[in-house]
A and B are shown apart, each in its own frame.
Chain A
Amino acid sequence: MSSIHSELERPPVEEARFSFSIHLYDWISTVDHKRLGLMYIVTALIFLVVAGLMATVIRLQLAFPNGHVVDPDTFNRLFTMHGTTMVFLVGMPFVAGLSNYLVPLMIGARDMAFPRMNAFGFWIFLFGGFLLYFSYIGGSGLSGAGSAPDVGWFAYAPLTSRAFSRGASTDYWILGILVAGIGSIASAINVIVTTLSMRCKGMTLARMPMFVWVMLIDSWLIIIALPPLSAAQIMLLIDRFLGGNFFNTQSGGSAVLWQHFFWIFGHPEVYILIFPAFAILSEVIPIFSRKPIFGRPAMVGAVAAIGFISLGVWAHHMFAVGMTSWSNTFFTASTMLVGIPTGIKIFNWTATMYGGKLRMDTPMLFCCAFLFQFLIAGLTGIMLATGPFDWQLHDSYFVVGHFHFTLVAGLVFALFAGMYYWFPKVSGRMYNETLGKWHFWLFTLGVELTFVPMHFLGFLGMPRRIYTYAPDRGWDFWNLLATSGLLFQLPGILIFVWNIVFSAIKGKPSGDDPWDAWTLEWATTSPPPEYNFETLPEVRSSRPLWDLKNPNDPDWRYE
């Protein structure tokens, strides 16, 4: 990429003054995977804060019975936007951002396979997010029923038909997500092609880092599972704008068909969201245990199995719909089966730590908490998988507790682990470890306080998506406890933001490899130069830096 003009030919270069507009132009026009990755992650974090504030209002409204913090319509918009934002504008960009930043570095490439499509993916995702939020002002549409969508993040038919969702708010939900989904698919194709076609010399598929494997399988899931959502949304648009009958029960259409299509997307989607957590854990735990991942082939196999099986469990979201006992039994069975490879992963991570030398720095703390919390989430998942038990638990706060455990106590914890782990690589500076630990303990306490009580609320019969409740149902105490968790979560997040921003500017320089790690991203400078590596590496095992640092005991002897 650098030109080969001689000194004579090259015109004299002025010392570049910092120019805001040039800087801005650089970022807007970039096709560099690292910059795009950062843009994805920063945008995701901003949406995380926005949706988190929505959750705060929701919890304030539910802290006491007969709450009057917001009116019912506002509440219904809040939980719809909270869920939609978290899944599509926080979770998905984290998937894209992490793979875009790290995959080329980890496979020893200079960029992704399709850098311009990469940029396209980011900007169309951003446009989709903008469209969704524009509904707050533009949602009035023809009937003035306006504002943001209020149909729940899974938008069941026929609540979403023109008859029951007037105005344009549902249309913004559809269009925003449809458009953002195109970005996700583009990004996923990019990741797949990059891993297949751009690995450095010697890096067979078997030698790819766990992170890359997991994101590869994640991308396959995306390209298969996202189109069903797009298809269903196109069908809903045809219903709403052209008088179509896909989900019109008056003309014989089926409301349940929407559910099938949505959950054929929706269940793989939650695995799409959690895979980055698996990817991060599989990198961080070995480094902080000073041991290779236990059972690498099984770990990859488990992720592939989860991905594959997850395509066949969707109707466990529909146990109450009145399917036949055969269908209910089948989906109970398939859902429990998917729990097996997931459980195996927890065993393997634990075995990786066993016999190691555990460095309990912030990334590792978040990983350890993930393991406990994801174990609980998985076990409550088994409870939900059991059809008859689910008939009680479905659509109750137990489900809300379960999926927040998987996504907040699970995914978000792993994302923090990853952000702290790779922060020095991305910024060239070290974060403050004390602040990191404060963040960890405050946030963990807050998360437990908020989401554990929800399981009990489910047992006590509290349904989800209700804007208020009567005081004599026995729900008061647990709701108040759940809201109190915010008192710890919010400061935790603030400390994180402060830590990141301050350390990025004033932190101690970290050097190339502060963690004594083993994958290729640590073989270049922190932050990496635009071209990633001065010379493209050649590898002989799955831990190339271990081989370099331990020439008497290299991995390639054992793999």
Chain B
Amino acid sequence: MFTTLLAIPLAGADLPEHRITNIFEPLATPAESEKNIALLVFAITGVIFVGVAGLLAYTIWRFRQPTHAERTEEPPQVYGSNQIEVAWTVLPVLIVFVLIGVSARVIAAVENASPPQAALKVTVIGHQWWWEVLYPDYGIVTANEIHMPATNDHKNATYLQLQSADVIHSFWLPQLSGKTDLIPNRTNFMWIDPHEPGVYVGNCAEYCGTQHANMLLRVVGEDPKSFKEWTIQQQKRAVDDPQTSEGHAVFESLACVNCHNIAGLGKASAGSKFGPDLTHLMSRQTLGSGVYKNTPENLRAWVNDPQVQKPGCLMPSMKLTPDELSKVVDYLETLR
């Protein structure tokens, strides 16, 4: 019944969707510096492994006795050797100091970068099991899908402020950056600069309850012109389309408004934040926080019973009649 998620072109643009999120194929600066340090660590640990495992394998091969060998005289009883032991203490200490030094540099570079005045700032608030996304400078409120300009200059990176409305979550898009947690009563900061336009995929990376597995992330990197168009569209309020006013009425009279905000439309713009903001629902590629393609069939099935699609999620089935369901879905389909 549900079409599993495959790479979908964004309406109006052919953006590649990076669904194989290999940390060794970085597409932003933080992930690149993390990859570089990773390669250094691989090189060092690789040499250590070959050396030590080689010595071990040689030792076993050279000194093994055939099974059921006669009990012969004991080999020379060597108790130790100060020189050897000092050598194999000093060498690891030196290696470790190198690694510590390199790590300190990268840690400082990633963590202590402070946002330039003109940088794009996005606030992400984690909920059980969706992402609230705010662009304070633009007055934009959306959910689950974060748009930002692609850039090759990390000074134009997007700066994220991370908070949580309930439990601990973690923001992880492997090809863009290492992860940072979203913790209630605490604000964390990170920055990402996707180098090319594209759709980047990630997961919540801190166990946050039943549907932790289905709290997916989408970052859409766009060229500056497309990004500007997106912000303008997102800033608009919902348009009242008389053809779907019945659906709108269902939305407002049943409990939908208690959780979901739709900007500019009567009661529904009360600003509830318990559930995702729906003002521009149809501008998003997925439903249920990255789990299903945003198609009319999927939307209908979702509204009908979210518990079938994402069991344990906090949206109940409103037990709509098929007629009410159609009206609401038609209405939601107008929210571009």
Which residue of the partner chain, among B44, B59, B67, B183, contacts A321 with CB atoms under 8 Å?
B183
Select the residue from A164, A252, A322, A394 with max chain B CB neighbours within 10 A: A322
* Whole-angstrom distance between the Cβ of B257 and the nearest chain A Cβ: 24
Option from B21, B49, B79 in Cβ contact (under 8 Å) with A375: B49
Complex formed: what's the CA distance from A9 to B108 in Å? 84
Q: Answer yes or no: B333 CB below 8 A from chain A CBs.
A: no
Tell me whether B4 and A391 are in contact (CB under 8 A).
Answer: no
Q: Shortest CB–CB separation between residue B274 and chain A, in angstroms?
A: 14
Contact A386 B207 (CB under 8 A): no
B321 within 8 A of A: no
Indicate whether A336 sits within 8 Å of B204 (C-beta atoms), given known contacts A72-B213, A291-B75, A320-B179. no
**Interface of chain A residues 482 through 536 with chain B (CB within 8 A):** 516
Question: Closest B-chain residue to A371, C-beta based?
Answer: B56
Interface string of A336-356 (1 = CB under 8 A from B): 110110011011101101111
Binds B, one of A231-239, A415-423, A445-453, A459-467: A459-467
**Contact indicator B41/A386 (Cβ below 8 Å):** yes
Nearest residue in A to B17 (C-beta to C-beta)?
A472
Chain B min CB distance to A458 (Å): 8
- Docked Cα-Cα span, A460 to B23, in Å, equals 6
Judged by a CB distance under 8 angstroms, whether B185 is at the interface is: yes
List residues of chain B with CB within 8 A of the CB of A347. Answer: 52, 88
Bound-complex Cα distance A325 to B107 (A) = 6
Q: A298-B85, A350-B59, A472-B5 are in contact. Are A383 and B107 (CB under 8 A)?
A: no
Which of A253, A324, A353, A559 is within 8 Å of B60, CB to CB?
A: A353
- The residue that B177 contacts in the complex, of A360, A391, A464, with Cβ under 8 A, is A391
Residues B188 and A296 in contact, CB atoms below 8 Å apart: no
> Is A295 interfacial (CB-CB < 8 Å)?
yes
Closest to A80 in B: B207
Given the complex of chains A and B, what is the CA–CA distance between A516 and B180 in angstroms? 55
For residues 8 through 34 of chain B, which have their beta carbon under 8 Å from a beta carbon of chain A? 19-24, 30-31, 33-34
A332 within 8 A of B: yes
B205 at the interface (CB under 8 A from A): yes
A159 to B56, CA, bound (A): 45
CA gap between A380 and B287 in the complex, in Å: 37
Which chain B residue lies CB-closest to A368?
A: B60
Asked, given contacts A159-B167, A473-B20, whether A256 binds B172 with beta carbons under 8 Å apart, the answer is: no
* Chain A interface residue number, banded: 35 or more
A395 touches B103 (CB 8 A): no
Partner of A159 from the list B44, B104, B209 (CB cut-off 8 Å) is: B209
The 8 Å CB contact of A465, one of B77, B107, B207, is: B207
With A295-B85, A360-B67, A392-B178 known to touch, is A471 a contact of B103 (CB < 8 Å)?
Answer: no
Chain B residue nearest to A346 (CB atoms) is: B52
Partner of A256, one of B77, B78, B186: B186
**Which has the most chain A C-beta neighbours within 10 Å: B5, B81, B181?**
B181
**Given contacts A322-B181, A332-B100, are A73 and B79 in contact (CB under 8 A)?**
no
Interface hub of B48, B55, B69, B179 (most chain A Cβ within 10 A): B179
CA distance A348 to B213 in the complex (A): 44
Of B91-99, B235-243, B322-330, the segment with at least 4 beta carbons within 8 Å of chain A is B91-99
- On whether the beta carbons of A382 and B59 are closer than 8 Å, the reply is no
In the complex, what distance in Å separates the CA atom of A361 from the CA atom of B34? 44
Given contacts A159-B207, A353-B59, contact A294 B213 (CB under 8 A): no
B89: chain A residues within 8 A (beta carbon): 340, 344
B213 pairs with A466, CB closer than 8 A:
yes
Residues of A near B175 (CB, < 8 A) are 461
Tell me if B210 counts as interface (CB < 8 A to partner A).
yes
* Contact of B34 with A256 in the complex, beta carbons under 8 Å: no
Distance of A391 Cα from B81 Cα, bound (Å): 40
> B5 — which chain A residues lie within 8 A by C-beta?
470, 472
Tell me if A392 and B31 are in contact (CB < 8 A): yes
- Picked from B23, B67, B79, B108, the residue with its CB within 8 Å of the CB of A325 is B108
Contact with B along A352-380 (1 / 0, CB 8 A): 01111111110000001001100110011
B167→A360 contact, CB < 8 A: no
Distance in Å from the Cβ of A549 to the closest Cβ of chain B? 9
Which of A73, A355, A559 has a CB less than 8 Å from the CB of B312?
A73
Selected contact of A350 from candidates B48, B52, B203, CB within 8 Å: B52
Q: Does B194 touch A at the CB level, under 8 Å? A: no
Whether B174 is near chain A, meaning CB under 8 Å from some CB there, is: yes
For the complex, give the distance between the alpha carbons of A252 and B184 in Å.
10
Contact of B63 among A358, A469, A555 (CB under 8 A): A358
Residue B246 interfacial (CB < 8 Å): no
Complex CA gap A390/B203 in Å reads 16
Nearest CB in chain A: distance from B58 CB, A: 9
> Assuming the A-B contacts A290-B74, A382-B99, A465-B207, are A320 and B79 also in contact, with contact meaning beta carbons closer than 8 angstroms in the complex?
no
B229 CB → nearest A CB, Å: 28
**With the chains together, A371 CA to B198 CA distance in Å?**
45
B92 touches A290 (CB 8 A): no
Q: Which of B7, B103, B183 contacts A386 (CB 8 A)?
A: B103
| B64 contacts partner chain A, Cβ-Cβ < 8 Å | yes
Chain B residues with Cβ below 8 Å from A353 are 59-60, 63
- Evaluate contact between B99 and A386: CB separation under 8 angstroms: yes
Contact A388 B80 (CB under 8 A): no
In whole angstroms, how far apart are the Cα atoms of A159 and B210 in the complex?
Answer: 11
Nearest B residue to A340 by beta-carbon distance? B92
* B117 lies within 8 A of chain A by Cβ: no
User: B180 to A460, Cβ gap below 8 A?
Assistant: no
Give CA–CA (A253, B186) in the complex, Å: 10
Closest beta carbon of chain B to A464's beta carbon, Å: 8
Q: Tell me whether B84 is interfacial, beta carbon within 8 Å.
A: yes
The answer to whether B65 touches A379 (Cβ under 8 A) is no
Of residues A357, A461, A464, which shows the largest number of chain B Cβ atoms within 10 Å of its Cβ? A461
Across the interface, do A460 and B103 meet the contact criterion of CB distance under 8 Å?
A: no
When distances are taken between beta carbons in the complex, the residues of chain B under 8 Å from A372 are 53, 56
Report the separation of the CA atoms of residues A320 and B188 in the bound assembly, to the nearest whole angstrom: 10
Within A125-173, which residues are at the interface with B (CB < 8 Å)?
Answer: 150-152, 156, 158-159, 163-164
B19 close to A474 (CB less than 8 A): yes
Partner among B21, B41, B63, B207 whose Cβ is within 8 Å of the Cβ of A382: B41
- Contact residues in B for A322 (Cβ distance below 8 Å): 162, 180-181, 183, 186, 188-189
Q: Once the chains bind, are B37 and A388 in contact (CB under 8 Å)?
A: yes
Bound together, the chains give a CA A460 to CA B77 distance in angstroms of 49
A255 touches B45 (CB 8 A): no
Residues of B within 8 A of A387 (CB): 103, 106-107
Assess the A388–B21 pair: CB atoms within 8 A. Answer: no
A467 to B99, CA, bound (A): 35
Q: Can you list 30 A-B contacts with CB-CB less than 8 angstroms, sorted by A residue number?
A: A71-B311, A150-B210, A159-B207, A289-B63, A289-B75, A292-B78, A294-B78, A295-B85, A298-B85, A320-B179, A320-B181, A321-B183, A329-B108, A333-B100, A336-B99, A343-B48, A344-B85, A348-B85, A350-B59, A355-B63, A355-B75, A357-B69, A380-B45, A388-B103, A389-B41, A392-B174, A459-B24, A463-B203, A465-B213, A474-B20
7 more A-B residue pairs beyond the given contacts A343-B92, A469-B213, A470-B4, with a C-beta to C-beta distance below 8 A:
A164-B166, A295-B81, A320-B181, A332-B103, A358-B63, A380-B45, A392-B174
Listed in ascending order, the chain B residues whose CB lies under 8 Å from chain A are 4-7, 19-24, 30-31, 33-34, 37-38, 41-42, 44-45, 48-49, 52-53, 55-56, 59-60, 63-65, 67, 69, 71-72, 74-81, 84-85, 88-89, 92-93, 96, 99-100, 103-104, 106-108, 110-112, 128, 162, 166-168, 170, 172, 174-175, 177-181, 183-186, 188-189, 201-213, 311-312
- Taking Cβ atoms with an 8 Å cutoff, the residues of A that contact B are 66, 71-73, 76, 150-152, 156, 158-159, 163-164, 249-250, 252-256, 289-292, 294-298, 320-322, 324-325, 328-329, 332-333, 336-337, 339-340, 343-344, 346-348, 350-351, 353-361, 368, 371-372, 375-376, 379-380, 382-383, 386-396, 459-474, 516, 550, 553, 555, 558-559
Task: List the 5 closest A-B pairs by CB distance, nearest first.
Answer: A391-B178, A461-B21, A466-B213, A461-B174, A249-B185
